[in-house]
Structure 1
Amino acid sequence: MFAISQLNVIKDIFHSGNRRYTSKFFHKKSFRILAFILSALLALAWATPSLTVSLRTTEILWDTYGVPHIYAKDAANAFKAFGWAQMQSHGNLLLRLYGQARGRAAEYWGEEYLESDRWVLTVGVPERSRSWYKAQTPTFRSYLDAFAAGVNAYAKEHPDLIDDEVKAVLPVKPEDVLAHLQRVLYFTFVVSPERIAGTTEKEQKPGSNGWAIAPKKSASGKAMLLANPHLPWADLFLWYEAQINAPGIDAYGATLVGVPVLAIAFNDNLGWTHTVNTHDGWDAYELKLAGKGYRFDGQIRPFQTKTISLKIKQKDGTLREQPLVVKSSVHGPVVSEKDGKVLALRVVGLDRPGVLEQWWDMARAKNLSEFETALKRLQLPMFTVMYADRAGNIMHLFNGQVPVHQEGDFEYWQGTIPGNTSKTLWTKIHPYQDLPRVLNPKSGWLQNANDPPWTTTFPVAIKADNYPSYMAPQGPMDFRAQRSARMLAEDPKISFDEMVEYKHSTRMELADRILDDLISAAQKQGSELAQRAAKVLAAWDRQANADSRGAVLFATWAEEMDLEQAFSQPWNDKSPRTTPKGLANPTSAAATLEAAAVKVEKAYGKLDVPWGEVFRLKYGNVDLPANGGYGELGIFRVVDFVPNSDGGFQSFAGDSYIAAIEFSNPVRAMALTSYGNATQPNSPHKGDQLQMFAQQQLHPVWRNMKDIKAHLAERKEL
């Protein structure tokens, strides 16, 4: 269909009362021809009243998967519509997240949010969000205003569709949007209180897969891109799929709920995805106390101290106040004081408030040059960038704000850092040109599965020796990354459909590496039970599909086994894709298999129980046999599980948003939001895509008016 922006131009000319303007540019015959063409185009565009796209208004067109397609008359109205759309799909969640980002969640909802408020206030999120708002460019500040206005407009028009308890957050301010961004990006992804405390919580460990395939490797001769973040299926980690169309932008992708721009996206010319990279963006400094302060460079420095009043809602509705004393050193806020050990936190990027505008401009870019111009601002504190475009370029960038250190390797900076000297206090970050990057590698493919940048392609295109030793670790390449590289390397020409099929691969790379040795050890040295277990494993297809028999047994053995000590040949950088391998102690491995068999048979009554009977895909009221599993087993299709009440396991994280894009003409794309594109209790899209996920399917991406019209579920004019 004729572009909306073009129709607007012609319509404005046609309806102009300025005869001097029209006579200057058109003689009468030309004007009559133009009028005829315009009439025909407008008749075509307005032929279906149910899908009238007014040229002077903004509309949200909802498709049957609950994806909003925003057609806006200008960028500000696109932001307003996006705020409205997010409220319709995730209103209760969005307001709760903004309440937490304010550091007032305990005031709104009680004691259970007290630790969240302490964290947010200690690291200065609300105060910094106000300064960040002032630091935005005037244009982008107006966009944030518009997004907040859209949130509030929805709440005003549909108060009955929002839970009463979250209405306390209204009205939303643009500063809340920036506070939420900081809480999510800097104080959850870059660093979290669990990481500082040294604890590990599976649900706080985000991951991702990303591929870029060059025309020389593609069956169609067109570049392709695969986006596949793995996040928890709840709370601030939820993805929201959308299309934004306004003058200067027509982008499709996804963002985290509450974020006003697309974070993973593509347009007609290019696209990108992010993976969580091996990035050191924070440090915990141990302070040496002295007097009323701490020692630094041979002197005693006083702490900067302020007291904040925390309000906590009681069960009877009254508020209890509690003081929170926030102390800061030259390094940053004091975040831990235990057993005489005082830690201060330093996080990258808190002086760089332009993250959202950079993402916005990445989505507006028309070519690699414009895209890299946006990237070079280095406003985004972390994340690998995997890129592909219509011109056939593919690129991997180890993106992030990497501190410039005087000493130490990556491992050193993972520990607690001495805070008594300026020699360890970083103040600068590496410029864009210092970051590991490869464009159009010889292999024709790029991958990242949260491994260091040195293994993004083979032959190796980025060499660790060319970078500071603290930039990223030098190994190992885990089994999921090895599986990722194997699928790409072993197929000389990959079609779009094959890329989607590979995305859903549940084959366990660990099994390919060690299963034959394990079966042999059990047959030769194992008990009768171990030999029965070996027979089950020998018949297993080495996959974690719903009907795979033997996968449960092998996964249980892997859990019982100390895999770091299991291999006779450990991982090494000379054979990064084929090591580790071999059993170091066959007798111990066979004994462990017997123990695993006892456990499986007792729990499920048989050794060859199907994977989907034990592991379930569950979201809301939807409960289905699972396929996919833990990345540690070398499964590319990641699903993480937690125990449920009946002795089995249910999904709680993993593949969340998936997008497969081929830069043909027109662009071909398919996508999926595993848990659906809404959480509101009244929405039919809560969990509605999980069945497709279970069937290893993606839904078509509709980006033109004809397709949207054919699959229109709802329309809202703003």
Structure 2
Amino acid sequence: MRIDFLSRVYKRVSRRVLPLILALILILFVGSQTTAVSAKSTEILWDTYGVPHIHGKDNRSAFYAFGWAQMQSHGDLLLRLYGQARGRAAEYWGEEYLDSDRWVLTTGIPERARTWYKVQNPTFRSYLDAFAAGINAYASQHGNLINDEVEVVLPVKPEDVMAHLHRVLHFTFVVNPEQVIGLSQQKLQAGSNGWAIAPSHSASGNAMLLANPHLPWSDLFLWYEAQITAPGIDAYGATLVGIPVLAIAFNDNLGWTHTVNTHDGWDVYELTLAGNGYRFDGKVRDFLSKTLSLKVKQKNGSLQEQSLVVKNSVHGPVVLEKDNKAFALRVVGLDRPGVLQQWWDMARSRNLNEFEKVLKRLQLPMFTVIYADRKGHIMHLFNGQVPVRSNGDFTYWEGIIPGNTSKTLWTKMHPYRDLPRIVDPKSGWLQNTNDPPWTTTFPATIKANNYPPYIAPRFMDFRSQRSVRMLDEDEKISFDEMIAYKHSTRMELADRLLDDLIPAARKYGQDIGRRAANILEAWDRQANADSRGAVLFALWVEKMDWDQAFSKPWSENSPRTTPDGLANPKSAVATLEAVAAQVEKTYGALDVPWGDVFRVRVGDIDLPANGGDGDLGIFRVLNFAPSENDRFQAVAGDSYVAVIEFSNPVRAMALTSYGNASQPNSFDGGKQLQMFAKKQLHPVWRQRQEILAHLQERQVF
């Protein structure tokens, strides 16, 4: 490996040098570098935002380099995640990981991962081998840059990669421990925005795509931005740390994003215990049981062993026993090991037909697909492995299901043709903000009545309504306008309620209520750093009981304008006055700026935030947790953004909110977080000349 000197050359160039001379220098330099790199070499070009651009001589080499790159950017995190996916984290790091290990082992993740690895086709299995080899090679050569505590996980095996994927997808996204047995401290804050705009709705006449997942800013939820170029692929996008392929991506011909869909891919069955087993179809069945040994590292470094009895019914593993009942978990996709290859082949597709052919494998257990391409096609697919259920609606299957009969035990999945899907709607646009597929565009094109009632619920929240409003009210959306809409912090809920709340406060309120009304009337109804009134409104919303608060509930007949109105204005004003008094006492003013109270922080960088909870109808989502001095710190929300226009060449801007590395002394240095606070995106460099002109480091293998 050798380090290129391009960045040093550019630092020495005077800012006053004529553009022509700069261009000539660049041409000469690029030409010399092209000849210097053998066709037999693989390289990583790191740009100034810490994004690795991987150029592989073949696919195996590209996977190797991607493993290396992820270690350089997130080595400590990656090894810790792989240790957890093995179910041995308590053995490595202590009792705080014991619940995690129990969950991983009870759900059979390590054993199933070994099986999944073995059944990959030989070519793709060799890619996984290469990815693991890249991880181990980096660790071998740069052990001094890795935390000693996580080195116990080394060497990484390709089975670890599969186990991590399995834990992330099936046992965090499809079903989260909190939803089942309360293992995690808080519920999963997972969401996303996705837009696809057809040429008919685009100012340039080109299709456009917005990718914008919202996830926690820590742990296995961190996004990693990269470009992968090798024979048959040139894709740019992002994936979660530890995943060896891009999960959201675009190439010269097409692109897609995912949103967390209203997908029910798991059920908890209540079993009636009898003898050493459980009752099923009038008979008593025995559990399939095995006893595993858990090792737990003690504070003195010794290991203590604990036994874990894992029971399985015909439904799945027993995750809880109490009051002579057992609760068994059933999850989709445990027999479909082709997720990684499906994502890889999606990124290699060249048109809609090829892309859908890959999607029809249905290896990905969930996630909406929002798609756009160079030819102007756009698509919304409610993607996922959806069980064929005998009866019941979405609400029924969200509850505890009787496990004493085969009538409730699903065994088959709906085929691709059964899934809600629309291509090229007349509206010219598609959106999803984690709402059901029925609201993807207007006039509505996917009709809920045409699908089983358990497919998805029926609702449209305020963030979805805000999303649709921005798309529908602008007949021709430009690339720059899409970036501006992406960063919109306007609160749809405020637009819906202030016309009731302000006059009610003046009618029923005391002095502080009337002053609060004045603040809310002057407020810009946004959650920008300098917005005054947003704190007051958001905290009022938090204190309200919304089950009966609206005078007009949500209606399928008016999905974009309901719910509306205050059912009890006098009570709403009383809540407003109590909140106003607290705001004034805590922050010294009713109109304290949003960014004084809500912050974004990474390391030593502490900046005023913009954006807020999607429940307020904000498109720019940030979720906060209490911090010191009655402030709040962003812990989830906007995490990766990509805005793509399928022009010639493709135009794109992107940002990874918290930066593209978690290792100490990374390239990023907080640069992307500062851009995040300013509502900026960075240019996406995909062509070699562009990348070399913004080079931070070059590694050749």
Tell me whether 1:238 sits opposite 2:222 in the alignment: yes
Q: Deviations over 1:635-683 (max 9, x none)?
A: 0000110011111101111000000000000000000000000000121
- How many residue pairs align between the two structures? 675
Q: How do 1:560-575 residues align onto structure 2 when only pairs under 5 Å count? A: 560-575=543-558
Task: Answer whether contact 2:54 2:227 (CA < 8 A) is retained.
Answer: yes
Distance of aligned partners of 1:175 and 1:507 in 2 relative to their CA distance in 1, 3 Å threshold: same
Task: Answer whether contact 2:49 2:667 (CA < 8 A) is retained.
Answer: no
Q: Distance in 1 between matches of 2:254 and 2:447?
A: 27
Tell me whether 1:599 sits opposite 2:599 in the alignment: no
Distance of aligned partners of 1:561 and 1:126 in 2 relative to their CA distance in 1, 3 Å threshold: same
Q: Pick one of 41, 44, 61 that aligns with 1:77.
A: 61
Q: Deviations over 1:580-632 (max 9, x none)?
A: 11111111111111111011111111100000000011111110011100101
In structure 2, the partner of 1:455 is 439
- 1:411 alignment partner, SS class: helix
Q: Pick one of 506, 523, 527 that aligns with 2:489.
A: 506
Task: Answer whether contact 2:48 2:667 (CA < 8 A) is retained.
Answer: no
- 2:585 alignment partner, SS class: helix
Task: Answer whether contact 1:620 1:686 (CA < 8 A) is retained.
Answer: no
Shift of 1:48: 3.4
Code of the residue aligned with 2:93 in structure 1: it is: W
- Scaled by the length of structure 1, the TM-score of the pair is 0.93
Q: How do 1:396-407 residues align onto structure 2 when only pairs under 5 Å count? A: 396-407=380-391
Shift of 1:165: 0.9
Q: Deviations over 1:355-387 (max 9, x none)?
A: 000000000000000000100000000000000
Q: Distance in 1 between matches of 2:29 and 2:312?
A: 60
In structure 1, the partner of 2:334 is 350
Shift of 1:111: 0.7
- 1:612 alignment partner, SS class: helix
Q: Deviations over 1:13-50 (max 9, x none)?
A: xxxxxxxxxxxxxxxxxxxxxxxxxxxxxx97863349
- Scaled by the length of structure 2, the TM-score of the pair is 0.95
Distance of aligned partners of 1:714 and 1:515 in 2 relative to their CA distance in 1, 3 Å threshold: same
Q: Distance in 1 between matches of 2:592 and 2:186?
A: 26
Q: Distance in 1 between matches of 2:106 and 2:525?
A: 48
Q: Distance in 1 between matches of 2:290 and 2:162?
A: 23
Task: Answer whether contact 1:279 1:471 (CA < 8 A) is retained.
Answer: yes
Shift of 1:688: 2.6
Task: Answer whether contact 2:281 2:404 (CA < 8 A) is retained.
Answer: yes
Distance of aligned partners of 1:45 and 1:432 in 2 relative to their CA distance in 1, 3 Å threshold: farther
Code of the residue aligned with 1:697 in structure 2: it is: Q
- 1:148 alignment partner, SS class: helix
Q: Pick one of 554, 557, 581 that aligns with 2:540.
A: 557
Tell me whether 1:275 sits opposite 2:262 in the alignment: no
Task: Answer whether contact 1:84 1:150 (CA < 8 A) is retained.
Answer: yes
Q: Distance in 2 between matches of 1:713 and 1:252?
A: 18
Shift of 1:525: 1.2
Q: How do 1:19-30 residues align onto structure 2 when only pairs under 5 Å count? A: none
Task: Answer whether contact 2:64 2:133 (CA < 8 A) is retained.
Answer: yes
Task: Answer whether contact 2:181 2:319 (CA < 8 A) is retained.
Answer: no
Q: How do 1:91-130 residues align onto structure 2 when only pairs under 5 Å count? A: 91-130=75-114
Task: Answer whether contact 1:51 1:709 (CA < 8 A) is retained.
Answer: no
Q: Pick one of 599, 620, 623 that aligns with 1:616.
A: 599
In structure 2, the partner of 1:302 is 286
In structure 2, the partner of 1:531 is 514
Q: Distance in 1 between matches of 2:29 and 2:634?
A: 45
Q: How do 1:388-427 residues align onto structure 2 when only pairs under 5 Å count? A: 388-427=372-411
Shift of 1:395: 0.1
In structure 2, the partner of 1:38 is none
Q: Pick one of 632, 640, 651 that aligns with 2:615.
A: 632
Task: Answer whether contact 2:211 2:643 (CA < 8 A) is retained.
Answer: yes
Q: Distance in 2 between matches of 1:218 and 1:682?
A: 42
In structure 1, the partner of 2:156 is 172
Code of the residue aligned with 2:161 in structure 1: it is: V
Distance of aligned partners of 1:472 and 1:590 in 2 relative to their CA distance in 1, 3 Å threshold: same
Code of the residue aligned with 1:473 in structure 2: it is: P
Q: Distance in 1 between matches of 2:176 and 2:592?
A: 38
Distance of aligned partners of 1:538 and 1:135 in 2 relative to their CA distance in 1, 3 Å threshold: same
Task: Answer whether contact 1:122 1:335 (CA < 8 A) is retained.
Answer: yes
In structure 1, the partner of 2:664 is 681
- 2:31 alignment partner, SS class: coil
Q: Deviations over 1:252-281 (max 9, x none)?
A: 000000000000000000000000000000
Tell me whether 1:698 sits opposite 2:681 in the alignment: yes
What RMSD in Å do the two structures reach over aligned CA positions?
A: 1.3
In structure 2, the partner of 1:431 is 415
Task: Answer whether contact 2:177 2:184 (CA < 8 A) is retained.
Answer: no
Shift of 1:54: 2.5
Q: Distance in 1 between matches of 2:672 and 2:159?
A: 33
Q: Distance in 1 between matches of 2:591 and 2:325?
A: 51
Q: Distance in 2 between matches of 1:200 and 1:530?
A: 40
Shift of 1:202: 5.0
In structure 2, the partner of 1:8 is none
In structure 1, the partner of 2:425 is 441
Q: Distance in 2 between matches of 1:201 and 1:393?
A: 42
Percent identity over the alignment is 74
Q: Deviations over 1:455-477 (max 9, x none)?
A: 000000100000000000012x0
Q: Distance in 2 between matches of 1:52 and 1:362?
A: 32
Tell me whether 1:256 sits opposite 2:256 in the alignment: no
Q: Distance in 2 between matches of 1:625 and 1:45?
A: 41
In structure 1, the partner of 2:650 is 667
In structure 2, the partner of 1:540 is 523
Q: Deviations over 1:79-106 (max 9, x none)?
A: 0000000000000000000000000000
- 2:630 alignment partner, SS class: coil
Code of the residue aligned with 1:478 in structure 2: it is: D
Q: Distance in 2 between matches of 1:312 and 1:349?
A: 31
Q: Pick one of 450, 471, 474 that aligns with 2:458.
A: 474
- 2:67 alignment partner, SS class: helix
Task: Answer whether contact 2:178 2:186 (CA < 8 A) is retained.
Answer: no
Q: Deviations over 1:202-227 (max 9, x none)?
A: 55120000000000000000000000
Q: Distance in 2 between matches of 1:67 and 1:115?
A: 35
Q: Pick one of 624, 645, 649 that aligns with 1:641.
A: 624
Q: Pick one of 48, 59, 77 that aligns with 1:64.
A: 48
Q: Pick one of 486, 492, 497 that aligns with 2:480.
A: 497
Q: Distance in 2 between matches of 1:95 and 1:621?
A: 24
In structure 2, the partner of 1:40 is none
**Structure 2 portions without partners, runs of 5+:** 1-26
**Structure 1 portions without partners, runs of 5+:** 1-42
Task: Answer whether contact 1:403 1:426 (CA < 8 A) is retained.
Answer: yes
Distance of aligned partners of 1:440 and 1:652 in 2 relative to their CA distance in 1, 3 Å threshold: same
Q: Distance in 1 between matches of 2:416 and 2:408?
A: 22
Tell me whether 1:132 sits opposite 2:123 in the alignment: no
Code of the residue aligned with 2:392 in structure 1: it is: G
Distance of aligned partners of 1:406 and 1:713 in 2 relative to their CA distance in 1, 3 Å threshold: same
Q: How do 1:304-383 residues align onto structure 2 when only pairs under 5 Å count? A: 304-383=288-367
Q: Distance in 2 between matches of 1:167 and 1:198?
A: 30
Task: Answer whether contact 2:502 2:517 (CA < 8 A) is retained.
Answer: yes
Q: Distance in 2 between matches of 1:139 and 1:215?
A: 38
Distance of aligned partners of 1:689 and 1:315 in 2 relative to their CA distance in 1, 3 Å threshold: same
Task: Answer whether contact 1:102 1:176 (CA < 8 A) is retained.
Answer: yes
Q: Distance in 1 between matches of 2:662 and 2:184?
A: 27
Code of the residue aligned with 2:240 in structure 1: it is: L
Distance of aligned partners of 1:119 and 1:51 in 2 relative to their CA distance in 1, 3 Å threshold: farther
Tell me whether 1:247 sits opposite 2:247 in the alignment: no
- Which structure exhibits the higher relative contact order, with contacts defined as CA atoms closer than 8 Å and separated by 6 or more residues? 2
Code of the residue aligned with 1:369 in structure 2: it is: N
Q: Distance in 1 between matches of 2:108 and 2:231?
A: 36
Code of the residue aligned with 2:697 in structure 1: it is: E
Q: Distance in 1 between matches of 2:30 and 2:525?
A: 55
